[in-house]
Amino acid sequence: MEETEAEAMLRGQADIWKYMFGFADSMALKCAVELRIADIIHSHAPTDHMITLSQIASHLVAPSPDITCLTRIMRLLVRRNIFADHHPSEGGEPVYGLTCSSRWLLHDSEMSLAPMLVMENHPSLMAPWHYFSQSVKEGGPSAFKKAHGLEIWDFASENPGFNKLFNDGMACTSRIVMKAMLTEYGHGFDGVGSLVDVGGGTGSAVAEIVQAYPNIRGFNFDLPHVVATAPAYHGVSHVGGDMFEDHIPNADAVFMKFIMHDWNDSDCIKILKNCRKAIPERGGKIMIVDIVLEPSGDGLLDDTRLVLDLVMIAHASGGKERTENEWEKILKEGGFPRYKIIKIPALVSIIEAYPV
């Protein structure tokens, strides 16, 4: 039956109410992570993997936890399918268990999103979102700088606690992406004898690649003060330099993960041109691990990818996520007329681009 105008307006009202209080989902999730509810269930539940709220509360680091408050928060998280609940037919307390969603909140899991969730919901990273309308009206520096007077990297250097929070969040995301990439993209390293990770930080990503493909000689390229603190990895050489200058080490292939989205188009083209000089014209390639937006896409992660483009407005200065057409434009101008996009089960895709 066709929806009436009144029904359509009610649905529209319901949507506005939902988005108005969208932050409540994030805050409830943050609360669950800070209280380590998923960890408590995972560690202390009996063989049926479910546990009562009283049992959860008994493991909280708190002298007198408010069970009523916890009940109300868990009720929403159950409705969001973050946790599962079961109400015994014979009465008694409901019991709670993990779902496929809450397993991503386990702190001790190698594949945990808990550090990223805490990071993105930190007050310092939430404040810039309140400056979006000002950013539209004025342009200028990032919303982060409007909120704090400093760009995010300068803010992190002056606030060690925030810097650790930020690094932990980035590291957990990197682990998830690297696992998906190495599982689904093994063929991409066929025939690669040497690989330079441009903007590779302390070298963990290229080290993982070299460990999986010992025939590859790895180079980790980043600013001198970054590589100065990098640990030694078998098969990896650390090289200090600036990707905006013509000093990228020569290799069969260039690897860049979560780099290009931090920069505007003209800066990306400069980086690409320098990468182009570092690889052979025949057989050389660049591997970009980054988001490809599909604004009309209906995939599991397409909506989140669009949100992450707004994260770039909030936190980066000039950075953005790009559609395939936007990628094609900067790749061609940067010296890579041919490319292909390889999808993997992650937020990112792999963009392979070739100089000829």
Catalytic residues: 261
Q: Are 142 and 310 in contact (CB under 8 A)?
A: no
Backbone angles phi, psi at 160, to 5 degrees: -55, -35
Q: Which residues make Cβ contacts (< 8 Å) with residue 38, sequence separation at least 6?
A: 32, 83, 98, 102, 103, 105, 106
Contact 220, 237 (CB under 8 A): yes
Find the helix or strand (DSSP H, E) in which 172 lies.
helix 160-184
Sign of CA dihedral 72, 73, 79, 84: negative
* E runs forming strands in the chain: 50-52, 83-86, 95-98, 194-198, 217-222, 236-240, 253-257, 285-290, 292-293, 322-323, 338-343, 349-354
